[in-house]
Amino acid sequence: MAGRGGALARAPRAGVWWDLNTCTIPDGIDPSSIRGCIESAVHKAIGCRSSIVIMYAIGNLEYIPADLLDKIALSGITLIHAPCGGKDLIQFLDQWCGQHPSGYIMVISGDYTMVNPHRYKWMKECTKFCAYPKGYWPTTPPPPSQVFAKEFVWETLVTDNPSCAIEGADEPLCICDICDAVYNTCNEFTTHLKSEQHRETLFGIVPVDFDLATMSEWPRYFCPVCNYPAYDEYNLLLHNASEEHTRKLAEKEPQAEDCQSRKRNPLEDLSYERNKKQAIIS
């Protein structure tokens, strides 16, 4: 048994960060099978079926349906509410690479702040893989050298890699990175994301502007209809596209002042905002 334990300790380790906001589950795919599909793709890319794959589903999870989060968490993927894009991701990767300097990482995202190849230049020891949603390719600027050992199209990765058999998952692990809160049931986690306590913490971390007229600070990205502060424009657009915001808006008088970003189609805005992010960083 000691030999088996030693083999386990020597098995390659891969960390996967899946951005739920930009890489949604392709139509017709069972959310519970995603972990097995990713694991299968990672095993093939590494060339080792015994590699240990640890997965995290990240992003702004406030508006992802609770039943979907539940299925993902129960399959053994850790949920992390981390709405600050690349800023959050780089911290997670930094920690991972410190613990597994010659390990493997895979980032699945269509958010340029997360998949900008220049962000990965310093991680020389880790082998890096990336997956983008169909139609998205961060081709500009070209990286100085090959940063990613392999790049995938997200939808193809899922459909081309049948879910491999995965060991029984431990109890769900759900983390709110903003509040530094950990939950072992998805129900408690989603209740937390809707709580006043969570919102108060959010008010404390979002960027603010100083209003000379009132001599007070106010969140730069804010929905007055729901009294919701967002971390950036992209998160405000996610909020404006949410059912919660639409419901609150409908409850208001028709002549009531509209939230500024409702002047455009929020879903079109989301795509616009992602492209703008890439243009700015380029």
CA gap 142, 126 in Å, rounded: 20
* Residue 15 C-beta: closest distance to Zn ion, Å: 23
List strand residue ranges (DSSP E) for the chain, in order.
13-19, 52-59, 78-81, 104-108, 127-132, 150-153, 174-176, 181-183, 208-211, 216-219, 221-223, 228-230
- Regarding 176 and contact with Zn ion (CB under 5 A), the answer is yes
Kindly state whether residue 245 participates in binding Zn ion, applying the rule CB under 5 A: yes
| Least CB distance to Zn ion at residue 68 (A) | 19
What is the phi-psi region of residue 166: left when phi exceeds 0, alpha when psi lies from -120 to 50, beta otherwise? beta
The span of 18-26, 38-46, 179-187, 263-271 binding Zn ion (CB under 5 A) equals 179-187
Cβ pair 207, 221 in contact under 8 A: yes
- The verdict on 226 binding Zn ion (CB under 5 A) reads yes
Nearer to Zn ion, 44 or 248 (CB): 248
Binding test (CB under 5 A) with Zn ion, winner from 198, 206, 234, 266: 198
- Compare residues 105 and 230 and give the one whose CB is closer to Zn ion: 230
Contacting residue, 178, 186, 206, 237, with Zn ion by CB under 5 A: 178
Question: Which of 35, 26, 76 lies closest to 164, judged by CA?
Answer: 35
Which of 223, 230, 237, 241 binds Zn ion (CB under 5 A)? It is 223
- The C-alpha angle 47, 132, 36, rounded to 5 degrees, equals 45
In this complex, which beta carbon is closest to Zn ion, that of residue 105 or of residue 179? 179
Q: Provide the binding-site residues for Zn ion, judged by CB under 5 A.
A: 176, 178-179, 198, 223, 225-226, 245
